[in-house]
Structure 1
């Protein structure tokens, strides 16, 4: 064992916590002695780790026995929900791309950025920030502002406004507040006209109602000069609602899906 390991390095501590949690697989309740033995940990170390996990809600104690806490189930359910959402999105994203000719993105809010999880469409080809795995500042992207508009002010007031990439971008928190009000007035649809990237206009709608933990959005982007903003906004809003219903296992809403006008250039 190295010196770092003997003094409890972060990696060693993570390994200990992981080995401790793994003993609950298939065993709903265990005593401290059972946990220490099966995790191959000193009893004192197992007790110290368990005390902290109980404080965090990851483990619960009942008398002399321990079991996984509700916080663990909450985190696990969020992973399942996100995977269900991703699978539910794909058919709607392909349909939206076919009906509009625009590029469709599924994006999630991560701290001060949006991460593009999925993309249907090949345009823009040479823009790394628009590809799956690409990130963009939340305040400068349509997807980011669609999600931010659903959040209480306290959850985004600490956001800074980085310098915009173009002259059309937002520069201050005051401009951001005004834009988020417009998003709410449009029923949750955010519009970015060349503010994130010159020559590209994007419209986005959040997936799920206000208060949802998903913090995900569906968006359409296309060339600024030919982008049918109103029609695209209607289409992406309805598709986002349909995705939410499908991922939640609810009955599909009645009514005919809106279609955006097909632009002259395929994206």
Structure 2
């Protein structure tokens, strides 16, 4: 009976095989086997599967990296470009409004914060760079889900309900997403993720191939003082600015500047969850 190879060992072999192509011309089977120190039979079997998946291409007796590798590399470059284009816009939004700007991406059933400009909320780890929040509880998550077909959604556990305003069921989520679409793709979360905190978010562009937004821009501030309508207009316009800057395409119409929001000084009480000794997240 043949014993199946351990998954980790197979992953190591595939990784070594793909890395053999880096900086190289197309390679023949014998050259690849020698580089990765594998038997020719094992190398050939792995290569055949990679060819079927599009990771490697075969031309006669030679192999080279396939189009799928190029597609993934393009995604990484695109995300970096969006990140670089977003930072000056986020900095300007924070300067003009006093609100905290986040750049976030969908990571499974969570939102991952890639960048943050602003100091408030000054407590709660879920607002930090590198932190994650459940998709169904975040404005960024709502903005991205609303731009996707529902059959592309990740599995959503609805396991956490930090406030009485939190989304608890898929039906509630679908109703919330319809409001996002009615608002032109901009999501508003008022205290669903933390009491006293409101967040407005919009997707930055749409991935045509996958039919969904890839990255979201958001602004958050104290619920009692944030002017939602003005912030919705600003976030929508800023998301378009970032996408055009990342794509290197100038906007063809004059930008409509929404009324500037000036945040009152944040008191110590605003960094606390009302009715609790726990600080706002």
TM-score (norm 2): 0.87
Partner of 2:263: 263
Which piece of structure 1 moves more, 80-89 or 207-216? 207-216
1:219 aligns with 2:218: yes
Shift of residue 48 of structure 1?
1.5
Tell me if the contact between 2:26 and 2:63 (Cα under 8 Å) persists in the aligned partners.
yes
Separation (CA, whole Å) in 2 of partners of 1:238 and 1:254: 12
Shift of residue 63 of structure 1?
2.1
Cα gap change, 1:163/1:12 in structure 2, threshold over 3 Å: closer, same or farther?
A: closer
Tell me if the contact between 1:102 and 1:222 (Cα under 8 Å) persists in the aligned partners.
yes
Shift of residue 109 of structure 1?
0.7
Separation (CA, whole Å) in 2 of partners of 1:69 and 1:50: 11
How many residues matched?
Answer: 262
The alignment partner of 1:66 has SS state of strand
Tell me if the contact between 1:149 and 1:183 (Cα under 8 Å) persists in the aligned partners.
yes
Q: Aligned runs of 1:37-76 on 2, under 5 Å?
A: 37-76=34-73
The alignment partner of 1:38 has SS state of helix
Cα gap change, 1:210/1:61 in structure 2, threshold over 3 Å: closer, same or farther?
A: closer
RMSD between superposed Cα atoms in Å: 2.0
- Structure 1, unmatched stretches of 5+, are 1-6
Counterpart of 2:88 (choices 67, 87, 91) is 91
Separation (CA, whole Å) in 2 of partners of 1:157 and 1:214: 14
Cα gap change, 1:30/1:157 in structure 2, threshold over 3 Å: closer, same or farther?
A: closer
Shift of residue 56 of structure 1?
1.4
Tell me if the contact between 2:147 and 2:213 (Cα under 8 Å) persists in the aligned partners.
no
Separation (CA, whole Å) in 1 of partners of 2:220 and 2:15: 42
Shift of residue 44 of structure 1?
1.4
The alignment partner of 2:156 has SS state of coil
Partner of 2:235: 236
The alignment partner of 1:132 has SS state of coil
Counterpart of 2:113 (choices 103, 113, 116) is 116
The alignment partner of 2:224 has SS state of coil
Which piece of structure 1 moves more, 254-263 or 41-50? 254-263
Partner of 2:274: none
Separation (CA, whole Å) in 2 of partners of 1:217 and 1:132: 14
Tell me if the contact between 1:166 and 1:196 (Cα under 8 Å) persists in the aligned partners.
yes
TM-score (norm 1): 0.92
Alignment deviations for residues 83-102 of structure 1 (CA, whole Å, 9 cap, x no partner): 11111110000011111110
- Structure 2, unmatched stretches of 5+, are 272-281
